[in-house]
A = this chain, B = another copy of it.
Amino acid sequence: MKVKIAGHSGFCFGVKRAINIANSALKNITKEDKLYSLGPIIHNPQVVNRLSDKGLIVIKDISKISVGTIIISSHGAPEDIIEKLKRKKLKIIDATCPFVKYAQNIVRDLKEQGYYVVIVGDKMHPEVRALVSIAGRQRIKGKSKIGIVSQTTQNKENYISEIHNILKGEFSEIRIFNTICRDAALRQASAKELLKKCDLMIVIGGKNSANTRRLWQICKESGVESLHIETEKELKPGSFSKKKCIGITSGASTADWIVDEVVEAIRKH
């Protein structure tokens, strides 16, 4: 049995940056001060747990805190929440991924220029919720100027198909921005390459991670048997003992040590 790891895997730029920001904040924090992160800083429970062990407190509800330092997660945060944090006079550290920030700035510009903003992505994902908060309440008029951005982890085929639907309607101008992160595209291409050679694909990453779930979806759609796991604990030896080649890929927020543990567990069996 062969075990092959996808060429493009491991932390992406934005995740690496967010973790570095969290680690250096943890170093600089005094014992009296508290360091929060607004939701998980990245979508990988194992990595987030390690940061929690060092003292980073993940909170969902900001109404319960009034002092301390808070880190905005790599996915960004809604405008109204940031406003509330400022009013509370908490110290804010922004770990929003620069590619997400780029999409946010585009939405802000489009809104200012009178475009009706369409965001293509998962409605409930924090990145999309932050983008929606910037776009604000909007009304579409008959023949309109429409601006379209995508969640950074969307796959391009989905994005094009949504754009296609909008093109079929009435419009005077449509402005489309390619806000899809290059890392997500490379990761998906790398997985597709590996799928040609393997009879089982293991996708490692947070169950709450949009880019990992999309990666898993692509693997499943190829017809090759595919599993989505967070850690080696979820592996069932029976499911891979007869396989000739196992491909391994991981989401943008999956640490290398998690991947190493999975590979080691497979080799042991």
Contact = CB atoms under 8 A, between A and B. Distances in A.
Contacts of A160: 164, 167-168
A176 B177 contact: no
A167 B176 contact: yes
Interface of A: 143, 156, 160, 163-164, 167-168, 171-178
A14 B182 CA distance: 46
Copies of this protein in the complex:
2
A119 to B, nearest CB: 16
A176 B178 contact: no
Contacts of A168: 156, 160
Nearest to A159: B167
Shortest Cβ-Cβ A-B pairs, 5 listed: A174-B176, A175-B175, A160-B167, A173-B177, A172-B178
A77 to B, nearest CB: 25
Q: Which of A143, A164, A167, A171 has the most CB of B within 10 A?
A: A167
16 contacts: A143-B178, A160-B168, A163-B167, A167-B176, A171-B176, A172-B177, A172-B178, A173-B175, A173-B177, A173-B178, A174-B175, A174-B176, A174-B178, A175-B175, A175-B176, A176-B176
A40 to B, nearest CB: 30
Given A172-B177, A173-B176, 19 more contacts: A156-B168, A160-B164, A160-B167, A160-B168, A163-B167, A164-B164, A167-B176, A171-B176, A171-B178, A172-B178, A173-B175, A173-B177, A173-B178, A174-B175, A174-B176, A174-B178, A175-B175, A175-B176, A176-B176
A268 to B, nearest CB: 43
Contacts of A176: 167, 171, 173-176
A76 to B, nearest CB: 20
Nearest to A146: B176
A251 to B, nearest CB: 24
Most chain B beta carbons < 10 A, residue from A143, A171, A176, A178: A176
**Which of A160, A172, A174 neighbours the largest number of chain B CB atoms within 10 Å of its CB?**
A174
Contacts of A164: 160, 164
A186 to B, nearest CB: 13
A120 to B, nearest CB: 12
A243 B1 CA distance: 73
Contacts of A173: 175-178
Nearest to A172: B178
A178 B170 CA distance: 9
